[in-house]
Amino acid sequence: MLLSGSRAGGTGVSEEKSSLKRAYNNFAEQRERTELESWKREERESFLVRLKEANARTLLEIGAGTGRDSLYFGDRGLDVTAIDLSEEMVRLCTEKGIRARLMDFYKLDVPDGAFDAVYALNCLLHVPKSKLDGVLLEIKRVLKPGGLFFCGLYGGADSEGTWENDVYEPKRFFAMYSDGRVIEAYGRQFELLDFHTVEMGQGSPHFQSLLLRK
């Protein structure tokens, strides 16, 4: 993945958010038509098993996209709230009957300890590394004591910046971590219960799966 220099400093974070919102608004319908890969199904099925073992009832999905994971968890008995920065993604969620809100996960507009679990698939990789601790603290704040947090990312090598070959317009910002560094970064705020990777093919970042607990 070729990345241009990061614009995370100064007013860059708000610029990156605005750019991401436009990118995902522009590609919402295309993402709606994209078939879910089998390995993503396996990841959410594994998380559902852990949720049931923990008797979790309430789930917040951040960066919910088109809502298919929120729908999956809701259809299996969880009380799900979905949030996304993109108006088009929230619209697609709402059309599926999901309780969805337009919200920035940098500042979650929900009470402390409101959820038994948080699910974040391939959204926190858009957070500049200098801002990650603040976002994780927000997630930690809205989790109940002992609450579970699933985070899925792409990574394997440390990098940060705009993906030059991105087919999305505007091109998206990504922050990626080596396996050791992502464990360290998330372990500062949460207890790590499981970490594993899924290979995506030669020359591609791999998927990093983290199961965490408050």
Segment 47-66, tens digit of pLDDT: 999 999 999 999 999 999 99
The CATH homologous superfamily for domain 12-213 is Vaccinia Virus protein VP39 (3.40.50.150)
Mean pLDDT of 61-79: 98
Instruction: Indicate whether 139 pLDDT > 80.
Output: yes
Mean pLDDT of 31-45: 97
* Enclosing H/E stretch for 123: none
In the three-class reduction of DSSP (H, G, I as helix; E, B as strand; rest coil), residue 212 is classed as strand
Give the model's pLDDT for residue 77. Answer: 98
Instruction: Indicate whether 9 pLDDT > 50.
Output: no
In the three-class reduction of DSSP (H, G, I as helix; E, B as strand; rest coil), residue 72 is classed as helix
Domain regions of the chain by residue span: 12-213
Mean pLDDT of 166-193: 97
**pTM score, two decimals?**
0.94
User: pLDDT confidence of 11, banded at 50, 70, 90?
Assistant: very low
Torsion of CA 60, 66, 72, 73, to 10 degrees: 0
Give the model's pLDDT for residue 10. Answer: 38
User: pLDDT confidence of 14, banded at 50, 70, 90?
Assistant: confident
User: pLDDT confidence of 203, banded at 50, 70, 90?
Assistant: confident
Residue 156's closest CA among 133, 137, 183? 183
Give the model's pLDDT for residue 202. Answer: 82
Residue 93's closest CA among 62, 114, 121? 62
Residue 77's closest CA among 51, 95, 46? 51
Residue 206's CB is within 10 A of a number of other CB atoms, namely 16
Segment 84-113, tens digit of pLDDT: 999 999 999 999 999 999 999 999 999 999
Give the model's pLDDT for residue 12. Answer: 63
Q: Give me the percent of the chain exceeding a pLDDT of 90.
A: 91
Burial class (CB in 10 A: 0-12, 13-18, 19+), 112: exposed
Rounded distance between C-alpha atoms, residue 211 and residue 194, angstroms? 5
Rounded distance between C-alpha atoms, residue 191 and residue 193, angstroms? 6
SS3 per-residue string spanning 132-183 = HHHHHHHHHHHEEEEEEEEEEEEECCCEEEEECCCCCCCCCEEEECCHHHHH
User: pLDDT confidence of 6, banded at 50, 70, 90?
Assistant: very low
Instruction: Indicate whether 178 pLDDT > 90.
Output: yes
